[in-house]
Structure formats: C-alpha cells, structure tokens
Amino acid sequence: MSDKASDAETADLEQFRNETRAWLEANCPPEMRKPATSDADVFWGGRNTKFASEPQRIWFERMRDKGWTVPDWPREYGGGGLSAAEHKVLRAEMAKIGARPPLSSFGIWMLGPALLKYGNEAQKKEHLPKIAAGLIRWCQGYSEPNAGSDLASLQTRAESDGDDFVITGSKIWTSYANYADWIFCLVRTDPSAKKHDGISFILFDMTSKGVSTKPILLISGYSPFCETFFDGVRVPKSHVVGTVNRGWDVAKYLLQHERAMISGMGERGVGRPLGQIAADSVGTDALGRLDDVMLRGRIASFDVDEAALAACAERAVDLAKAGQAHPAFSSAMKYYGTELNKRRYEILMSAGGVDALEWESERSRQGARPRAWLRTKANSIEGGTTEVMLGIVAKRILDLPGA
Amino acid sequence: MALVLTEEQSMLRDSARGLISDKAPISHLRHLRDSKDPTGFSREFWHSFAEMGFAGLLVPEEFGGSGLGYVEAGIVMEEIGRTLMPSPFLATSVVAASALNRGGNAAQKSEYLPKISNGSLLATLAIDEGAKHRPLQTGLQAVRAGNGFKLSGAKALVVDGHVADLLIVAARTAGSAGEREGLTLFLVNPAAKGVAVERTIMVDAHNAARIELADVEVDADSVLGEVDQGAGLLDGVLDIGRGAVASEMVGLSEKVFNRTVEYLKSRKQFGKLIGEFQALQHRAAELYVDIEITRAATMKALQALDADVTKAAAAIAVAKARAGTTATRAVQEGVQMHGGMGMTDQFDIGFFMKRARVCEELFGDANYHTEQLARARGY
C-alpha cells in the first residue's frame, strides 16, 4: 500500500482536490449552491432553452468550458477526461458546497453512455459534443401503450425503404418529448423474429415530418410525460446505433443507466435534515425532540436507510470502476432508491399535515409539496417497476429458477 | 477512498476465510456447545490465529502486532460471522486491544499489548449493567481508597468474561447515572479479591459472563485513561466494537442468505423448485438488496474509523442499526424459507438466528443506534 507509485498518485489526487476546491470556490455562484426547488430551476439545455437566471448561465458556461458537464467523458467528445478517482473527488467537492449539476440531461445520463459503448465513431463525434455543450435535448422513446413492464413486446415498426427506415407507431410516457430536440427510440425492424431479436435502437430529429406529441396530465397536475406519435417518419439507416435487430442489447445497457439515474432521484443528504423540517410544523417537546414519537422513529429509520443507501451507491460506482460490478445491480439500486424516495415524501406529507394539502397558493408555492409527493409515486413504475426490478435481481443476480 | 477491498485486503480475507472455514466450520460451534466445553472456544486454534498475526491485528508493530486498521479487523470479523466461530478476537483483539492502545499509558501498553499479540492474554470490556446497552447509565461505583480505588457493582454480558485474564471495567468515579462526566475505565485482575465471575450459558452458545465486584481494591496505576474523563475513550472503543459486530453480522447475514437461496434452488414442492415461486423470489431479492446496502454502510463506517475514530459516530450508528435489522430479517427468512427443516436443531440455520439475536444486543441494538442518529441530527 505504501509503495512509491501509489504515494505519487495520492499526492497528485490531493493536488487535484485542492485545485478543484479552489476553482469551485471561485467559480460556483452562491445561488447555485443550494438545491433546485422546482423543475424551472433545472437547466436542461436544448435548441429552445432559456436560462432561468444569470447565475445559472454563468455556472453552466464555466463548467461546460472545463468539460465538467460530463467530467468522465473523453476530452475529444467534449468531456473533462477525468479518471475515476478524480471524478469522485470532483463529485465530493461539489457536494461539499452543495453545488448543483450545471446541466441535467437524458443525453448525459442515458444516451451518452450507450453511444460511448455501442455508437460508431461518426455517431459519437456528431452527438456527444452537443450533449456535453447542452445544445441538443434528448428524449427516450421506449414504452408503448401495450408495452410497459413487458417492454420487448413493443410494436412501433420501422420498414426498410432504400437508405431509410420509415417509422410508424406511438410511444407513451415519453418524458419531456414536447421540449426535446431528438429522440432515441426502440423500433421493431423484424416483425417475424422473436420479440427480443427484431428490435433496433435508432436516433432521429423530433422536428422530422410525421412526429407529434401530446402531453399527459398526471395526478400531480403536471405533464412531465407525453404521448408521441410517428406517422411515416423517414430516418436514414445510418442513425441506427449498434447492429440492426440487435437494439435490445443497447436498450438494456441504457436501462442500467436509466435505473441508476432514477435510484439517485430525490435530494439525498443535502439541505436540512428531514427531522428538522418536520419539527417546523410538528413542533418539539421539552427536550427538543420532535413532538410525535412515531413520526420521529419513522424519520430516524428513514435516515439510517438513506445514509446506508448513499454508501451503497458510492460503492456501486467504485465497483463498476474496478470492474467488479454485477451488470444487473442498477436494478437493485433502482428498486430501493425509488421506494425510499416514496417513503421520504410520505413522511413529508405526514409532517406537513394540513399545510401540505394546499394545491394552489403562493404560500404553498402552488402546492409544491403535494405535487412532488404525487410525482414520486411514478418512481417505482418508470424505468421498470419495483416488481420487474425484483424479478431481475432474482433471475440475473440470484440465479433463481424459472424467473 | 474507494468502497472496495484493496488487493492486500482481499488476500487477508482469503487467508482468514481459508483458515476459519477449514478449522472452525459451524460443526466446531456445535461441538463446543454439545460437549459443554469449559473454555467455550479452542485455545489451540487461538494460538494458530495469533501465529497468523490475527490476534494482534490492531496492535501497533512496536508491540508485536500487525498494525492494521479497522477495515482489516472487519474483514476478519465478517469471516468469523460466516461460520459463527467462537473466538476471543472480538473481546480481546478488537475491543480490549483498542481500549489499551487508545487509552493506555506507556507502561500499560508495553505490559499488555505484546501479550495480546502473541495470544497469551485474553482481555475484555465490562460495560453493560442493565438489560439494555446504555453506557452512560454506568453505575458501578469506584470510590477513592488510599492510593487507589475500591470498586463495587455488577456487570452483565461480559464477552469471554469467565476466561479473561484482564477485565476493563467501566465505573463511575463521579456524577450520577446518565451523565458523561465521571466515568472511568479500570484494569482489573479477575483473580483479585472480591471479584465473582459467573459464566452465563447463552442462547448462541458463545461466551458471556456476569461479574460482581465487591469492594475490589485497585491501585492508581490501574486507571486506563483519565479519571472522570472516560466517556470519550469509551465512545471510541465502543464504536470500534460496534463496527466489528456489524461486520460479523454482515458475514452472518450473507452466509445464511446464501444457504437459503441454495435451498430455494433444490427443494421441490407442488412439482416445482420452490425458488420458482414469485412470492419467495421477491422476498429473496429484497433481502439481497438489504444485505448489499448494509455491507456498503458497514465498509463506510470502518473506513470512517480508520480515518478518525472520534468522527465516525454517525457512520457507525447507521452501520450497526442496519446490520441489526438486516441480520434479523436474514435469519427469519432463513428459518421461514427452510420450513420445518429450519426449526430443527440438526440443521444449522437456527445457530445463525441465535447468534444474530446476541449480536443485535451487543453494543446497542438497532433502536439504540437509530435514536443516536436522530439526536445527532437534532430532532
């Protein structure tokens, strides 16, 4: 452990830590050092995007110029080229000052990793730098009205016509399709093959002729998801990622990243402790403890599980970088992370009492808490339900029979 | 620091696993129990453990130890958990060695630490008095007498108490039960006049004792650390013990889980392997995730101890609380999924359930540690 090479590495990493800390201190505007409180606070990029504030623009542009919107992507594709250890340091230093991600994007979380693994050089050069620079906003065309948990039964068809595919069908639960510039989409290219075998993974522009979207009103009163329709959309065959009819491999790989993303939803470990937020409305007893012994216990158990999950998420990244991760582990994290986030919001609703029931008022920030509570109910459905995740763990990790 | 084992740590795990699974499988515990072994562990095996450098794992090299850290101690504890091996490792090599190393003066360290390293001295911490672990409630009285002190009171759940050569006794020199001020640790010879040790045969067939002290005279040199200021030393030593027990519970949970999953793959009912039933698959999957999360939380806590024992309290509370609930779930599912076989003494699953119950009480249960976290977070 104490040989010279690793001593030098440790010294380099310490230097990187000091430089990063100083740079963040000098460059992260104070307004960007607290959690985003609404979707409008999040910068998603794209052709039609506008910055919500000047600090948001400054923070984004400074991070983009360092390649730190995607710190561990190669420099040639607009990334920061950081090693695993350096990336971990950057994340830790950002967390320490509460710095927000400068750019949120399905391109970063989902498509990028899939393109890095399965894309050809032309596709990587075309798409990755635009994702890194926040120029193109992507959406995901996976689920269909009759293909939810059973995703591989999807029916949207892509028929060969010369150098193009002609795409017809519809998708559902397409997050932010109405704001997206491009879509990564699963289509059936061979209807006669077995259901997993005839699928291709294809990219196209949402302004193509024949694409339309229709927002879906949810129980939260918001419409983060759309129905998306394709009526004879013409897409060059060169836009297929990986091999035609082998798109399920790409789809599954991308799903691992989607699940990792969803498991990380929720403002884990930042801001005030949940118990203190609860004390604002519930009150405290003579000893300063939350004046609701059952709620206090629930919150404390939640805090234990949340801290433990954070360690597990950290370990999952470390294992992946050490090449020791099980490829299906993101399903385990997705199951637990989403159930935990639902617990958080049940606690927040219980703690808020009557105050958490207002739906439309300035005082309640237009019912921010109840709407967020209702939004979390989708966490254990989107990207694969809890039941599907447990089935994957049982089959692929535990190797149980007939699952 | 990455939450994965280094190459050296993996090698340590492999050698500990090889040694323990070869020399002390669960049948070893069964034999000790059934033969009513008066020692409660194998001295012969303890000496080979010492020769491998495990007995002095946490002891600095200048005192004949291996000078390794808490992550490494956790690795050994996890392997102990996998076969439920009764061993002085926890009481002597982890808890007592840490107390002496962190609190001892030069004379105390050079007297005791080399003997712990070579396996010739067994030592243990006597802390609990009531039914539950409440260190600040310590009421065993130590009053000044001449050049030293006189100790009177009773201790329970003293691990290896009936075989220990040295007791580290938490006592109250000032203040009253519940207060941090006024706690002092004493080194007590169990052969001293007024010490009565009663071995208590426990549900898990591991060593424990009740100890009574009646006007036991000790000199001033037997104070470990500072008079009245023992709470800080005790916090660190207990957190180290908690991290070790959490590791044992991770090993125990994983082992009982692996055996249960194997059973699901071999037992047939209704013409099917029972592992084909989704009701069991999902419960097994949930338990797997629980164990993985608890393993990560425990590694995180051990790394926090290695970084700074005095700043690891929150991480330790999380790990010990999680280890308690996870192990409890693992052993209950183990028995339930094994059906009637899980209820038989002939089958090993019950040993895991019994040991998990004791580990849960050792150094504070899940409720205790969840409460600690709530207090630390100010609600």
List for chain A the helix, strand, coil content (%; round to 5).
50, 15, 35
> Beta strand A164-175 with A138-141: parallel, antiparallel or unpaired?
unpaired
**CB contact, 8 Å: B5 with chain A?**
no
Q: Kindly state whether B370 is in contact with chain A, defined as any CB-CB distance less than 8 angstroms.
A: yes
User: Which residues, including other chains, have CB under 8 Å from residue A73's CB and lie 6 or more apart?
Assistant: A67, A79, A80, A81, A112, A116, A128, A132
Of the candidates B335, B20, B26, which has an alpha carbon nearest to the alpha carbon of residue B204? B26
Provide the b/e sequence for B201-236 (b: ≥16 CB within 10 Å): ebebbbbbbbbebeebbbeeebbbbebbbbbebbbb
Nearest Cα residue to A1 out of B183, B46, B7: B7
Helices (H), chain B: 7-23, 26-34, 43-51, 70-83, 97-103, 106-117, 230-264, 278-307, 313-338, 349-361, 366-376
Of B3, B281, B317, the CB nearest to A400: B281
Q: What residues in chain B have per-residue pLDDT under 50?
A: none
3-class DSSP state of A99? coil
Closest to A196 measured CA to CA, from A243, A153, A165: A153
Q: Does B214 touch chain A (CB under 8 A)?
A: no
HSE on the CB side for A135, CA within 13 Å?
Answer: 8
H-state helical runs in A229-328: 247-263, 274-282, 293-321
Q: Are B150 and B143 in contact (CB under 8 A)?
A: yes
Taking residue A19's Cβ as centre, other Cβ atoms within 10 Å add up to 12
Which residues, other chains included, contact B349 with Cβ-Cβ below 8 Å and sequence gap of 6+?
B256, B259, B260, B331, B334, B335, B338, B341, B342
The Cα-based distances of A254 to A241, A259, A339, B113 in angstroms read 12, 9, 21, 54
Is B322–A296 a contact, with Cβ atoms under 8 angstroms apart? no
Give Dmax (Cα) for chain A: 78
Which residue among A276, A315, A400 places its CB closest to the CB of B296?
Answer: A315
Tell me how far apart the alpha carbons of residues A215 and A211 are, in angstroms, rounded to a whole number: 14
- Model pLDDT, residue B236: 98
Count Cβ–Cβ pairs < 8 Å, chain A vs chain B. Answer: 142
User: What mean pLDDT, rounded, does chain A reach?
Assistant: 92
Question: Per residue in A314-327, pLDDT tens?
Answer: 999 899 889 999 98
Give the C-alpha separation, A107 to A138, whole Å: 6
CA of A401: which chain B residue's CA is closest? B276
Which of B6, B288, B379 lies closest to A393 in CB terms?
B288
Contacts 24+ apart (CB under 8 A), A41-45: A42/A104, A43/A102, A43/A103, A43/A104, A43/A134, A44/A103, A44/A104, A44/A105, A44/A134, A44/A137, A44/A176, A44/A179, A45/A103, A45/A105, A45/A107, A45/A133, A45/A134, A45/A135, A45/A136, A45/A137
A window 256-275, beta carbon within 8 A of B:
273, 275
The model's confidence at residue A266, banded by pLDDT at 50, 70 and 90, is: low
For residue A4, the model assigns a pLDDT of 56
pLDDT at A1: 41
Q: Parallel, antiparallel, or unpaired: how do β-strands B148-158 and B195-199 relate?
A: unpaired
pTM of model > 0.80: yes
Contacts of A308 in chain B (CB under 8 A): 293-294, 296-297, 318-319, 322
List of residues 6+ apart from B116 with CB closer than 8 A: B55, B56, B59, B65, B92, B93, B96, B97, B100, B123
Phi, psi of B195 (to 5 degrees): -95, 125
The CA distance from A51 to A45, in Å, is: 9
**How close B137 gets to chain A, by Cα (Å)?**
18
Chain A residues whose beta carbon lies within 8 Å of the beta carbon of residue B262: none
Does the pLDDT at position A271 exceed 80? no
Does the beta carbon of B300 lie under 8 angstroms from any beta carbon of chain A? yes
> Among A301, A311, A319, whose Cβ lies nearest the Cβ of B370?
A301
**Taking CB atoms and an 8 Å cutoff, what residues of chain A touch B294?**
308
From A111's Cα to the closest Cα of chain B, the distance in A is 27
- pLDDT in the model for residue A262: 77
**B272 near A CB under 8 A:** yes
Quick one: which of A227, A302, A219, A124 has its CA closest to B318? Answer: A302
CB distance A127 to A115 below 8 Å? yes
In chain B the first and final C-alpha atoms are separated, in Å, by 31
- E strands, A18-151, in order: 138-141
* Nearest by CB: A307 against B261, B297, B371: B297
Nearest CA in chain A to B301: A311
Q: Which residues of B touch A275 (CB under 8 A)?
A: 374, 377-379
Distance from the A394 Cα atom to the nearest Cα atom in chain B, whole angstroms: 5
- For residue A87, list chain B residues with Cβ-Cβ distance below 8 A: none
Please give the full DSSP string across A352-364, using - where no structure is assigned. HGGGGG--S-TTT
Give the pLDDT band (50/70/90) at residue A38: confident
- The answer to whether A305 contacts B322, with C-beta atoms less than 8 Å apart, is yes
Q: Kindly list the residues from chain B whose CB atom is less than 8 angstroms away from the CB atom of residue A390.
A: 281-282, 285-286
User: Residue A215 has what pLDDT?
Assistant: 96
Q: Tokens representing B314?
A: 């929150």
CB atoms within 10 A of CB A97: 14
Three-class SS state of B327: helix
Quote the minimal CA–CA distance from A260 to chain B in Å.
14
Q: Tell me if A106 sits within 8 A of A112, measured CB to CB.
A: no
Residue A270 has a pLDDT of 59
Q: How far apart are CA B350 and CA B341, in angstroms?
A: 10
Separation CA B172–CA A241 (nearest Å): 72
Q: Residue A269 pLDDT more than 70?
A: no
Q: What is the pairing mode between strands B223-224 and A182-188? A: unpaired
What token pair was written down for B270?
């209704």
- Kindly list the residues from chain B whose CB atom is less than 8 angstroms away from the CB atom of residue A398: 261, 281, 284-285, 288
Of B276, B285, B300, the CB nearest to A398: B285
Chain A nearest-CA residue for B372:
A300
Contact A332 B289 (CB under 8 A): yes
CA-nearest residue of chain B to A400? Answer: B275
For residue A88, give the DSSP letter: H
DSSP three-state, residue A230: strand
Q: Is the pLDDT of residue A39 over 80?
A: no
267-326 in chain A: CB under 8 A from chain B: 273, 275-276, 278-279, 284, 288-290, 296-297, 299-301, 303-305, 307-309, 311-312, 314-315, 318-319, 321-322, 324
- CB nearest B281 (choices: A275, A324, A394): A394
The pLDDT value recorded for residue A40 is: 75
Comparing CB atoms, the residue among B281, B319, B374 nearest residue A275 is B374
The A residues from 321 to 380 touching B (CB cutoff 8 Å) are 321-322, 324, 329, 332, 335-336
Going by DSSP bridges, is the β-strand pair B123-126/B166-172 parallel, antiparallel, or unpaired?
parallel
Pairwise CB contact (< 8 Å): A308 & B374: no
CA distances from B316 to A66, B86, B239, B313, B360 (A): 37, 23, 6, 5, 14
> In Å, what is the CA distance from A192 to each residue of A155, A189, A331, B349?
12, 9, 30, 50
Instruction: Provide mean pLDDT across the span A338-342.
Output: 95
Rounded to the nearest angstrom, the gap between the alpha carbon of residue B90 and the centroid of all alpha carbons in its chain is: 5
CA pair distance B15, A324, nearest whole angstrom? 20
Chain A residue with CA closest to B257: the answer is: A398
- Closest-approach residue (CA) in chain A for B320: A304
Q: Say if B315 is an interface residue toward chain A (CB within 8 Å).
A: yes
| Two structure tokens written together for A368 | 């921010």
Q: Given CB atoms, is B344 within the 8 Å cutoff of chain A?
A: no
CB contact under 8 A, B322 and A288: no
How far apart are the CA of B192 and the nearest CA of chain A, in angstroms?
43
B340 φ/ψ angles, rounded to the nearest 5 degrees: -55, -35
Whether the CB-CB separation of A116 and A92 falls below 8 Å is answered with no
Distances (CA, A) of A100 to A39, A262, B23: 13, 17, 53
Determine the pLDDT at residue A35.
Answer: 79
CA of B104 to nearest chain A CA: how many angstroms apart? 28
CA distance A219 to A91: 34
DSSP structure class, residue A228: E
Detail the DSSP E strand segments found in B60-188: 123-126, 141-145, 148-158, 166-172, 183-188
Shortest alpha-carbon distance between residue A119 and chain B (Å): 30
Of B117, B314, B128, B95, give the one whose Cα is nearest residue B224: B95
Of B3, B276, B369, Cβ closest to residue A315? B3
Q: How far does CA B301 lie from the centroid of its chain?
A: 15
Statement: residue A2 has pLDDT above 50 = no
Are A304 and B370 in contact (CB < 8 Å)? Answer: yes
B110-138 residues labelled b (16+ CB within 10 A) or e (exposed):
ebbbbbbbbbebbbbbbbbbeeebebeeb
Flag if A284 and B286 touch (Cβ within 8 Å): no
Å from B299 to nearest chain A CA?
A: 8
Q: Are B59 and B68 contacting, i.e. CB atoms less than 8 angstroms apart? A: no
Q: Is A135 on the interface with B (CB under 8 A)?
A: no
